[in-house]
Each structure stands twice: as structure tokens, then as C-alpha cells.
């Protein structure tokens, strides 16, 4: 089974080129569409609203509670503050598509 790695990751330019080809758009239009999608998803998550794309997946925000950790050099306890993190949960169709 092939597992992807960072070396093979599609970058933004390649994504724009692929969207332009697939949607029959010029590269300027495809770039505007990709940038708009990224902005809208980011703004929605910032506002606390998940984005669900049926069959693809859901973008959401997960709260990570504050916790006590240890300094690896000294072993001394340190407080790690809580955080809000973006998460993505793949939808059923996407899972089926990549589980070959």
C-alpha cells in the first residue's frame, strides 16, 4: 500500500493548476477560487463554525485543554496552555477513495 509523504505533497501552485484543468478555468480564476475557499473555511473556523462538505469531510475546531508537561532536559514540570486547533475529519466517500 502506498502512503504519501511530504516530499510528494501537492503544493498550492500545483493545486491551482489542477483545479484550472479540472474545472476548465484559466489559472487566474482557479487561483481566485482556491484562495476564496481557503479564506472562507478559515473565517468560518475562526468564527467557531464547522464546514461540512458531504462526501469529502468536515473542517472543525478542537479545544485542547491546558495540561502539565515535563521539561525534557531537567524533568521539571511546566504548564502547557490550552489551544484551539483546526482539525479535518474525512468523509465516507473520501475514505473509500483512498483505501485501495
pLDDT, tens digit (0-9, with 9 covering 90-100), for 48-82:
999 999 999 999 999 999 999 999 999 999 999 99
- Residue 2's pLDDT band (boundaries 50, 70, 90)? low
CA distance 34 to 85: 22
What 3-state class would DSSP assign to 98? helix
Q: What cell was used for 91?
A: 468523509
pLDDT for the residue numbered 13: 97
Q: 47-65 b/e with 16+ CB inside 10 Å = b?
A: eeeebeeeeebebbeeeee
Average pLDDT, the chain: 94
Amino acid at each position: 500500500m502506498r502512503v504519501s509523504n511530504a516530499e510528494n505533497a501537492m503544493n498550492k501552485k500545483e493545486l491551482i493548476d489542477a483545479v484550472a484543468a479540472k474545472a476548465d478555468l484559466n489559472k487566474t480564476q482557479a487561483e481566485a477560487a482556491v484562495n476564496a475557499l481557503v479564506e472562507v473555511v478559515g473565517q468560518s473556523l475562526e468564527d467557531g463554525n464547522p464546514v461540512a462538505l458531504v462526501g469529502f469531510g468536515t473542517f472543525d475546531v478542537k479545544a485542547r485543554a491546558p495540561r502539565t508537561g515535563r521539561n525534557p532536559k531537567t524533568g521539571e514540570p511546566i504548564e502547557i496552555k490550552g489551544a484551539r486547533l483546526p482539525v479535518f475529519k474525512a468523509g465516507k466517500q473520501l475514505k473509500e477513495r483512498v483505501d485501495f
